[in-house]
Amino acid sequence: MSRRNKLGKFADLLKYPHVYENFDPLIPILHKSATDTVQMKGKWKSDHFGNDNPLTLELACGKGDYALSLARAYPGHNIMGVDVKGARIWKGATDALEEKIENVAFLRTRIEQIGNFFEPNEVDEIWITFPDPFLRESKENRRLTSPNFLDRYKKILKPGAIIHLKTDEVQLYDYTMEVLSEYDGVNIIYHNDDIYASELVYPELEYKTFYERMHLAKGLTIKYIRFTIN
């Protein structure tokens, strides 16, 4: 099944009960199939997960490695992977079905659109794991820790909710530290530019994505920032 082409994967996603898709960034509508639409804003916990457990987002989730790891480790939490690439989401969504992991779901949309799909105070935690660093200065506003994205997160997060950044990219790490030092209401709880140089402070840092394994194999160091926005 892993060899299915993109069209086959897209067809699968339309059938998966735990995958929601926004096909047009200019029209904030979620699809559950090719023809069925749903309204989930403010209702993810009640209408999808059927509980009131904390909701954690993994942004730019790729193949969903981290989302699945969090779901396995924290069955009392609702985990959602968010990414615009359907072919990547397919891998995590398929693994979740095969393993019968019921506390994980996936949202296919641009991260810029998350305010269209989550109510204020609906999200309890955000993970940003190995995002595209957009190293060119002309694309600085596309970095997921730029002020315009922090503004979006602040609107949907509960007060005091934790945001995590895990990356191998020095420039993104340094840029984020600078942005956070200037952004109003930020509290940096912890930061480390080489988390594996000593004992891990937080156990969930042990979870590794596909991309992290690649970076470690190249001898790159992994950086991490943990912060809140009040």
User: Mind telling me the catalytic residues?
Assistant: 132
Distance CA 130, CA 92 (A): 16
State whether the Cα torsion 134-140-141-143 is positive or negative: positive
Is-contact 49 105, C-beta < 8 A? yes
**Separation in Å, CA 1 to CA 5, 68, 117, 191, 199:** 9, 19, 31, 40, 38
**Separation in Å, CA 55 to CA 25, 70, 118, 196:** 23, 11, 11, 28
